[in-house]
Amino acid sequence: MRAFRLSASNATPALVVCDPPTPKADEILVRIGACGLNFADLLMVKGEYQDTPELPFTLGMEVAGTIEALGADVTDFAIGDRVAVFGGQGGLAEFGTFPADRAVKLPETMPFTDAAAFQIAYGTSHVALDHKAQLQAGETLLVLGAAGGVGLTAVEIGKLMGATVIACARGADKLEVAKAAGADHLIDAKTEDIREACRALGGVDVVYDPVGGDQFKAAFRACKPEARLLAIGFASGDVPQIPANHLLVKNLSVLGLYWGGYLAFKPQVITDSLAQLLAWYEAGKLTPHISHTLPLDEAAQGLELLRSRKSTGKVVITLDQD
């Protein structure tokens, strides 16, 4: 089979030919139809992600496809089932083995491209806004990086939960994408003062931040008393330092979220969240935004789209199985 692998530290990932894997007792073998790319893939290449696998490994954290074989202990699935899996690695290949307890069956109406773009982005935003921040209808939500993979889903879910959504992104084109996802107000991070723009709108109750850096600092200063700030990631490369005395004065809460971490200590949070998200999808309330769909031999170009911030929503690699 073909696989897009990282073979050594400081090396460039490359498409190689290798033997298909064999599932262990608790695993499924998936014939992969599509794989969603994530910013974390870029961090893995540099060895900077918190869950970077041992070398060599195949990139690709989330996949959708068809079950080809079952491990001896797997009873909840059948050969031929259409599934999505958050495997953490192994997705940019024609076949992959993954723990069965990380797989979910797909609605028949859900194409593999949508399914591969779904779990991490929507899961992160839903767990962040619902489970962590407990966003309420009528509150004001500020989404930084609002046209990116997770940011765009935060706009969509925030609106669905009844919030007034302020979307912040760089440039008119990206802001139009956020507007189409339901944003009520738009802030151009290239030209506008985030703090003053938010204050003019009455301040914010919840900040969703996958960016960090100066944008976090500006959003922090635009918070209402008892606001909640969600630290999702640091795409800017700058991890902000939080002045604890300011937290005290405004009674603010800063909440960290690593979506995949729940698999280790409270997996039911993810299970329940995905059930709700898939129900919303089937009801037509969620529409994954995929700006680029590329074949496996263009996986490197897909990662470059993320690195150069030339994509909106998700980039998906397809393997022609849907």
pLDDT at residue 198, as a whole number: 98
Dist CA 120 CA 127 (whole Å): 10
Q: What is the pLDDT of residue 153?
A: 97
Q: Rounded to whole angstroms, how far apart are CA atoms 248 and 229? A: 14
Cis link prior to 56 (omega < 30° from 0)?
yes
Instruction: State pTM to two decimals.
Output: 0.93
Q: State residue 237's pLDDT score.
A: 87
Residue 58: the pLDDT is 97
Determine the pLDDT at residue 235. Answer: 87
Determine the residue type at 164: T
Lookup: tokens for 104: 């979910």
DSSP string, 90-157: --SBSEEEEEGGGEEEPPTT--HHHHHTTHHHHHHHHIIIIIIS---TT-EEEESSTTSTTHHHHHHH
Rg (CA), the chain: 20
Closest CA to 65 of 121, 26, 110: 110
Question: Amino acid identity of 159?
Answer: K
Which run of H or E residues covers position 69?
A: strand 62-70
Backbone angles phi, psi at 112, to 5 degrees: -60, -35
Model pLDDT, residue 51 = 85
Exposed e or buried b for every residue in 72-107, given b needs 16+ CB within 10 A? eebeeeeeebbbbbbbbbbbbbbbbbbbbebbbebe
Instruction: For each of the domains in the chain, give its residue range(s) and CATH number, in order of start.
Output: 2-118+288-318 (3.90.180.10), 120-260 (3.90.180.10)
* 265, 289 contact by CB (below 8 A): no
One digit per residue, the tens of pLDDT, for the chain of length 322 reads 999 999 988 789 999 999 999 999 999 999 999 999 999 999 999 998 888 899 999 999 999 999 999 999 999 999 999 999 999 999 999 999 999 999 999 999 999 999 999 999 999 999 999 999 999 999 999 999 999 999 999 999 999 999 999 999 999 999 999 999 999 999 999 999 999 999 999 999 999 999 999 999 999 999 999 999 999 999 888 999 998 998 999 999 999 999 999 999 999 999 999 999 999 999 999 999 999 999 999 999 999 999 999 999 999 999 975 4
Residue 94 · residue 61 · CB < 8 Å: no
CB 106 within 8 A of CB 83: yes
Please tell me the predicted confidence (pLDDT) of residue 321: 59
Return phi, psi of residue 195, to 5°.
-60, -50
274 token code pair:
């995905």
Residue type for position 201: L
